């Protein structure tokens, strides 16, 4: 992973709006043609209505034109090696392939590299819905 994806995730984490959990998370993804989109978790007073960093990043990615995602980085301020929640695994899977690399980071760099296939084995795919 180039360092810029890690830096984008870390910069996004600094923008987290998480006054309730006080658990800032940042995510960044790169497209095949080199675009980088990032996001932070955003919480609201009605707790279930908040959403994850990965989801913010995916919103930016779709609005920026979408395309093939090649790499994803995620990190949390208070966890050495965060993994995306179940819902975000499903959301990320919508726009990735099983071989897409996911970099699990702390605030200094990559701690572990996994693939989306490892993150969401036997996941539900919407092919037959189209
Ligand atoms: N969170 C994320 O942003 N991404 C994850 O993959 C796991 C959890 C956020 C949601 C909530 O704002 C806070 O972390 C605590 O659950």
82 Cα: distance to centroid of ligand 1 (angstroms): 9
CATH class of this structure's domain 2-129? alpha beta
pLDDT given at position 43:
98
- pLDDT, tens digit, for every residue of 30-49? 999 999 999 999 999 999 99
Residue 109 three-state SS: strand
pLDDT given at position 107:
87
Residues whose CB is less than 8 angstroms from the CB of residue 92 and which lie 6 or more positions away in sequence, other chains included: 54, 58, 69, 72, 84, 100, 102, 116, 119, 120
pLDDT given at position 130:
84
pLDDT given at position 97:
96
One pLDDT digit (tens) per residue for the chain, 130 residues: 689 999 999 999 999 999 999 999 999 999 999 999 999 999 999 999 999 999 999 999 999 999 999 999 999 999 999 999 999 999 999 999 999 999 999 989 999 999 999 999 999 998 889 8
Instruction: Return the best residue to mutate from 38, 49, 58, 85 for the ligand 1 pocket (most ligand atoms within 8 A of CB).
Output: 85
pLDDT given at position 128:
83
Distance CA 59, CA 80 (A): 25
pLDDT given at position 92:
98
Burial readout 16-52 (b: 16 or more C-beta within 10 A, e: otherwise): bebeeeeebbbbbbbbeeeebbbbbbbbeeeeeebbb
Distance CA 48, CA 29 (A): 25
Residue 114's beta-bridge partner residues?
102
Q: Which helix (H) or strand (E) holds 69?
A: strand 69-76
pLDDT given at position 73:
98
**Could you tell me the residue ranges of all domains in the chain?**
2-129
Bridge pairing between strands 101-106 and 109-115: antiparallel
32, 43, 54, 94: the catalytic one is: 54
54 is catalytic: yes
């Amino acid at each position: 992973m180039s360092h810029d994806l890690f830096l984008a995730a870390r910069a996004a984490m600094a923008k987290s709006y998480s006054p309730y959990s006080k658990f800032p998370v940042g995510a960044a993804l790169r497209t095949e043609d080199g675009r980088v989109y990032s996001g932070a978790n955003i919480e609201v007073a009605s707790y279930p209505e908040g959403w994850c960093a990965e989801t913010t990043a995916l919103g930016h990615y779709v609005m920026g034109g979408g395309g093939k995602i090649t790499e994803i980085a995620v990190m949390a301020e208070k966890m050495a090696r965060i993994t995306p929640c179940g819902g975000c695994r499903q959301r990320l899977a919508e726009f990735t392939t099983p071989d897409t690399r996911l970099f699990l980071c702390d605030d200094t760099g990559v701690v572990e590299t996994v693939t989306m296939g490892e993150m969401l084995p036997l996941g539900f795919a919407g092919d037959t819905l189209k």
